[in-house]
Each structure stands twice: as C-alpha cells, then as structure tokens.
Structure 1
Amino acid sequence: MLRETPDQRREALDIRQLQTLVAIADHGTFARAAEVVHITPSAVSQQIRALEAEFGVPLFNRDSRPPSLNLQGLQILEMARRILRSVEETKGVVNGRRATGTLTIGSVRTSTIGLLPLAIVGLRKIYPELKVILRVGQSNALVADVLADRINIGIVAEHQAMPRTLRWSPFIREPLMVIAPPGTPGETAAEILATTPFVRFSSNVPLANMIDTELARMGLPTHDIAEIDTIRAIVECVAGGLGAGVVPDVALRANALPLKVVPFGNPPVFRQMGIVHAANSPRSEFFAEVHRQLAAAAGDWGVHPAAGSRHE
C-alpha cells in the first residue's frame, strides 16, 4: 500500500481547520478562536478532532485548562502557518495584485514616532487593498514573533542578534542627541551631562546600553534623577525642567517643546533601526517596498535597501 507524501497530506487538509488551529494558538482558548473564525465552539472542537484524526496524534494537552498545544501540536501549528501564508500570497498573484490581505508589523516604541504612520500611508497608496496591523513590543519579543510567524515584519535596533533564518535590514541611521532645558549651562554633551541631573533610559531598553557604553568611554559619570522606558516620556521630563537626557534624532522631529540640543558623543554616536523578516519569504519584494517607505520617511538619515542587509 502506498503511503501519502507530506505534500499529498497537506492537499487533503481543510484550510479552515488550519485557520482554526492558528486562531486557538493566537487567542488562547477554543471559545475565543470560535469568535475569530466565526463558527461555534462545538465546530472548533470538531475541526480539531478532524485534524487529530488526519495526523493520527493528539495535538492538545487536555489535562490543562484551557487545553494547550503539545509538541506535535506545535509542529503542526508551524506547518499550518506556512500553508496559510502561501495560500494568501498565491491569491494575490492569481488576482494580479502584488500585496493583498493583512500585513502585521511589530515595532519597538522608538520607531513609531512619526516614521511608521508615514510609511504605512505610502504603502496604502501603492497597495490600496492592504490592511496593516501594528503591534508595539520589546525587541526580543518581536524577533521571536517574526520567527514564529505571528507577525510578518519586526522593527528593531541593530544590536539585536538575529537567527540565521531571519534577515535584518537597516532603514535609518540617525545620531543620538543630548537634550536639556533651555538655558542649561554648557555647550557640549560632556559639559551639560557633567553638571545637570540625568534622565536615563531603563536598563531593559536596548538604547540604554549604547548610551551607557559611550558615557563610560567618555569617562563621564552621571547624576541620575529618573529612569524611564519611553523616549516620549524622557523628552517631556526634560522639557519640564527635570534634567538632561539622550534621545535619537527622530524624537525631536515633531516636537515643538523648547529644548537645548547638542550631539551626543565624540565623535557623534549613531544608532540604526531596521526591519526583520523571514530570509526566504516569497514576499521579499514586498518587504523591500516596506523598507523603501520607511527609509523615505526617515529623510536625510534614511538607509535605502541597496545599502545592504545582513543575517546574524
């Protein structure tokens, strides 16, 4: 008796069953998945039982509440995500559209200041049927989400180590700037930070390590007065007179608050932000357009796709 090949088995699967499995994984419970895929909870259970019968193994640990995916279930989930992504991309090709459906972008907070809205508007002009979902999170979590195919693109800082199955491409290289209240004594970063209380980033913010490394290189101790985890909050605290801080240039573009601004570091320190996505994705051409839109939004500090990308 001939045995089915993996490809033949995939062809026999019901796409709706795979969509339901992914919905359970993403939303945590059978009941919530039923709402997302617009079927009844009993139909969700029937579809999962059909999947388990197809593969001949249980996919969930039903001793826990709610049931959780077991090892076999996680393996099937990874396959389901790949199949559903391929189906979505094929629909776009067949319909003569290069980008349809939903693009899920995960971003660290820093790059959402001004750049992402501009880039998304640019994308929608080229691909009017495209739906964009934006999530905000920490770099490590975003890379894990791209790796697990929970999001299509992550926007993270350059120091973040990447698995070899992912590609990171910088779209902005911008200077870090010292900001201080108007009238603060000193004309250089060292003079300002040596005499002014310091509003620093929390240690869990990737930018904090870059700033601390340069401060140590300069031999410059700081007089910390606050520790904050968002750029916007640091800018507002500095504008309110609490002390001085170090932020990327992008934070100052749409800011009308009165501030004293000087370059940070000697020579000035630059940081890079980039997009990360699956290295072998058939949507690479589309991701390059996302990159172009972000680089254009970055203006003078933009790094365009031809400037390079890398695996880490």
Structure 2
Amino acid sequence: MSSIRFMRTFVAISRLGSFSEAAEAVGLTQAAVSLQMRALEEEFGRVLFDRSGRLALLNAAGQELLPEIKALLDHYDRIRQPKQAAGQFVGQLTIGAIVSSMSILAKIVSQLKSEHKELGIRLVSGKSAELTHKVARGELDAAFVVGTGRRYPGTRWTMLYQEPLRIMTHVSIRTRQPQDILMQHPFLRFDRSQHTGRQIDRVLQKMGIMPEDFLELNTIEQLLGLVRRQVGVTILPLLKTQHDDDLNDIRIIPLPSSLDAPTRDIGMIERRDNRQQAITQALYERYAAALLG
C-alpha cells in the first residue's frame, strides 16, 4: 500500500512545513520523501507544493486535497483495526509522559499489556510542552503532562492530581522564614522555558524577591540533588510520586499563605477524536487508583 505511506508522508509535510523534518518523523531520507511526493503528484495529476522557497508549503491544490487525504487515512486506520472481543483491548498506541509520571505509568502499561495480549503501547518521555504539542498534532495518542490552563483545539484535558509548590532547603539551614531563605542563599532555579519554571518565577515576583540565581535546570531530581549537597535552595513542586528517601537531608517549607497555595497540576491530554479512548481511559483510571494505593 505505497500510496497510503505516501499520503502519511504528505500529511507529515503539511504539519511540519519541511521535507527534512517530515523525513525524520516518518523514518526516511529527505531524497526518499521527495521521490514519494513526486509520485503522489503524478498519481493525483497535479502539483501539490510551492517549491519556490526553503519551506515545503502546500499550494492551493495541496490545501484542497489535505482534508480529503486525512479523512481517507482515518478511514483506512479504522478498517485495519482488529475487531476486539468483549473486554479485550487491541491495537497500537504511543503514550507520552513527563519524567516524574513515567515510573507509575510504566508499571500500569506493563500490567495492561500482560492482560491484553493484542495490545501494544509504546511510552515516550519528554518535556510537558513538547508532549502536549505532539498530542495536538496527532503524533501521540495521549500524554501525562503539566496543565497550563491553555486549551488546544481538538483535545481534551483531564486533571489527575496537584502538587503543591514548596521551598526546599538543606536540613542544616535553620531559619524557616521564606523571604530570609530565598534572599540569603544561592537560588537553584527550575527552567523558565517550562510552565512550572514560569509559575515559580511568578511566585518570586509576588513575594517581591529577586534571589541570587546560581543555575537553571529542567530536572527536579538534579535540583534536589544539589540542595542535598548544600549548593543552594530552590522552589519546586512536591512530587506526588516522590518517596520519603528522595527527601533525605531536605527540609520542606510552605510558601506564604498570601500566595493562595500555588500548585503544579498534572493530568492527561488526548485528542477528542482518539479512537482508543477506552484504553486511554483505562490508563487514567489505573493511574488514579495507583496514587490512592
């Protein structure tokens, strides 16, 4: 079914705007993608791309054809889907998760796959914003990510749990006054390119504090390790999945009550047209149950 493969490449180019990026997404060389698109244009009897610039942009004919090709691929995927017996999950899914959600999710996926022999689930980790965009573009079936309050067209967000933001210091620091802690010690900052980092930055602004930044990282575990080694202090979400051993030598201090208890929200995002919602719902429900257990 070479035409089906060519049409999937066509959709990838329309989404990514580049033959080279589409080639990486579908696992081909750029030359192979170019040949596929020439063949597709010959099959449909029309030019589909504006090749005058550096980007691969669909021309009017390509834009007109895009929704038809997407609908055809959706229909093809539906008829290829094995008919599942009552109570059995079948099919292939790709699920994303931020690092702090991955350990629980991996156990759940392993259990589901052992119970449903025709079910295949591939897990990928990444930054929350990156995973969210991949779900919105249809590259992932669902993802467990940080909620930002922003809604993406065609997607559904379901809250799973909340993690309160806390000041974290080494146990050797005796003062418990938030302002004193943050002003008197080097500050280990969470990556401000991420929603959580920007949220922490807003907390500092509301407190009227400009700490002495020592470094900026995007990994909670690494920041906690630096706190243990007395490099500095930080503000981080108190992970729901964290074990007590992970917080050895760390003192956890609440933020001032005037800040209205800021939290990092974790949930599942999926496309509304996801044909495997029964499976993603099972993942969500088992994750919620694991948190209670």
2:8 matched to which residue of 1?
A: 22
Superposed CA offset, 1:130-170 (max 9, x none)? 33233334444333322221221133322151223211111
Displacement after TM superposition at 1:91 (Å)? 4.1
Question: What is the correspondence of 1:150-169 to structure 2 with a 5 Å cutoff?
Answer: 150-169=139-158
What SS is found at the alignment partner of 1:200? strand
Amino acid corresponding to residue 255 of structure 1 in structure 2:
D
Between the aligned partners of 1:122 and 1:63, the Cα distance in structure 2 is: 52
Q: Which residue of 2 aligns with 1:5?
A: none
2:107 aligns with: 118
Within-5 A mapping of 1:1-312? 15-23=1-9, 25=12, 28=19, 45=35, 48=37, 51-60=40-49, 68=56, 70-71=58-59, 72-73=61-62, 80=69, 83-92=72-81, 94-96=83-85, 99-112=89-102, 114-187=103-176, 189-250=178-239, 252-253=242-243, 255=246, 257-266=248-257, 267-299=260-292
Alpha-carbon distance in 2 for matches of 1:78, 1:135: 28
Residues in 1 aligned to 2:186 and 2:22: alpha-carbon distance in whole angstroms: 52
CA distance in 2, matches of 1:290, 1:168: 14
Give 1:68 deviation, angstroms.
4.0
SS in 2 for 1:159: coil
The 1:81/1:177 distance shift into structure 2, 3 A limit, reads farther
Aligned length: 279
| CA RMSD, Structure 1 to Structure 2 (Å) | 3.7
Percent identity between matched residues is 23
Structure 1 Cα separation of the partners of residues 261 and 89 of structure 2: 40
Distance in 2 of aligned mates of 1:275 and 1:83: 28
Structure 2, gaps ≥5 residues long: none
SS in 2 for 1:213: helix
Please, which runs of 5 or more residues in structure 1 have no aligned partner?
1-14, 301-312
- The answer to whether the 8 Å contact 1:122/1:293 transfers is no
TM-score (structure 1 length as normaliser): 0.72
Q: Please give the alpha-carbon distance, in whole angstroms, between the structure 1 residues aligned to 2:185 and 2:21.
A: 55
**Which string of whole-angstrom CA distances, capped at 9 and with x for unpartnered residues, describes residues 275-308 of structure 1?**
21212333323221222133234348xxxxxxxx
Q: Which residue type is aligned with residue 184 of structure 1?
A: I
Measured at CA, do residues 237 and 123 of structure 1 come closer, stay the same or move farther in structure 2, by a change above 3 Å?
A: same
> Aligned equivalents of 2:197 and 2:89: distance in 1?
37
Secondary structure (helix, strand or coil) at the match of 1:94 reads: coil
After TM superposition, the score normalised by the length of structure 2 is 0.75
Instruction: Give CA deviations for 1:13-67 in whole Å, capped at 9, x if unaligned.
Output: xx5422244257389569968x959xxx59x94x6555334433233556789x9
Name the SS of the counterpart of 2:121 in structure 1: strand
